[in-house]
Amino acid sequence: MPEAPRSAVDKALDLVEAVARASQPPRLTDLAEEVGLHRATAYRVLVDLVRRGWVLRAGDRYLPGTAVLQLSSSAARNSLGALAGSVLAALSERTGLMVNLQVPEVDRSRVIDVVRPDRLAMISSLNGRALPVHRFAGPLALVAALAPAERGPYLRAAEESGHPLDGPEGLLADIEEAERTGFAVEYGRNEQPVASVARAVLTRPGAPVCALTLVGLGPDFDEARLPGLRELLREATDELARILSGTEASEVTGSTETTGAAGTTETTGTTGTTETAETARVTGAAGTTEAAEAAGVTGAAETAETAGQASPQPESPSRPLSTSLSLSPSPSPSTPTEGPA
């Protein structure tokens, strides 16, 4: 598939990023070469970026401008990690488990924040790592929350790694189960004896913003404790969705849980979700509304909207837990373990 031509926004952002990551203030020739633009084109874009404060010119060299510095300061207060920090900390304290925050990328998810209790220090936090959907609960929850038409890149990445898509042990069955229940659960798929459960955060159907994942040792997720952990995770993801969308708690999600002789049945209904016009998320995941503006550059405002709103499905009892999960406590590993997320 041929690569789409770069827009004015692409060129402007490429230059801003090149200036920001340079080890020393670059010259025009350096920048043009790094981002693959003709010198005249790079110069015209830089003139506008300097005028708007995104780049500062010092002689024949360029530095990050005041607008970048202000944005960085604002992002430290208003970024997804900052907004979700208190939710992660509270969930970890309530469960005694590691909690991580993941965002979708082109064909996997990336861990951007982690709260890990001391007792689980032997499990790797995976902070900053990109995780494939067929090995971790976090990306599985995110993909299950996407509209089916948007799942292709994640499925291809799993297939290229040798993981089956079809059959009872295939990825499609895992996605179907996670979509049906609203939770992705895995036991030791990435590393024994680590297990995890994840749930996507949505401000509107079919467009997950991020996912929260509980991570611990296998016995932490036994049959007796798992329903309670799922409910605490549900509350945390609903709270984060409320924070991100600016809605009241009752408007984000209504959930009920009933327990009978046959087991636990959970039902979730999404009602009254309010979208804010100012909300924009720039990631590599498909199926998400993205907006990018680069002021001062001709034609620099572009907006992409995706259709395919998938209605959330009511939950029904999960498939039986893996028989390989021990319900008695396992000895803690003595060496660092790369845990699932």
DSSP string, 291-315: EEE-TTSTT-EEEE-----PPPPPP
Q: What pLDDT does residue 10 have?
A: 94
Q: What pLDDT does residue 271 have?
A: 38
Written as one letter, the residue type at 54 is: W
Query: Rounded to 5 degrees, what angle do the CA atoms 98, 289, 253 make?
Result: 55
Q: What pLDDT does residue 79 have?
A: 85
Question: pLDDT digit string (tens) for 207-235?
Answer: 999 999 999 999 999 999 999 999 999 99
Q: Which is nearest to 235 in space by CA: 175, 310, 313, 183?
A: 183
3-state secondary structure 190-243: CCCCEEEEEEEEECCCCCEEEEEEEEEEHHHHCCCCHHHHHHHHHHHHHHHHHH
* CA-to-CA dists, residue 317 to 71, 180, 234, angstroms: 45, 9, 15
Q: What pLDDT does residue 248 have?
A: 57
Cβ(136)–Cβ(189) below 8 Å: yes
Q: What pLDDT does residue 73 have?
A: 75
Question: Whole-prediction pTM value?
Answer: 0.61
Give the span between the Cα atoms of 290 and 218, in whole angstroms. 38
Question: pLDDT digit string (tens) for 62-106?
Answer: 999 988 888 877 777 778 888 999 999 999 999 999 999 999 999
Q: What pLDDT does residue 339 have?
A: 55
Residues in Cβ contact with 133 at an 8 Å cutoff, skipping those fewer than 6 apart: 108, 109, 139, 140, 142, 143, 154, 155, 157, 158, 171
Give the span between the Cα atoms of 16 and 68, in whole angstroms. 9
Q: Cα dihedral angle (266, 243, 126, 341), rounded to 10 degrees? A: 10
Residue % of the chain over a pLDDT of 90: 59
Give the span between the Cα atoms of 99 and 23, in whole angstroms. 34
Question: pLDDT digit string (tens) for 240-289?
Answer: 999 998 865 545 444 333 333 333 334 333 333 333 333 333 333 333 33
- Residue 331, both tokens: 């000895």
Residues in Cβ contact with 278 at an 8 Å cutoff, skipping those fewer than 6 apart: none
What average pLDDT is seen over the chain?
Answer: 78
Q: What pLDDT does residue 338 have?
A: 52
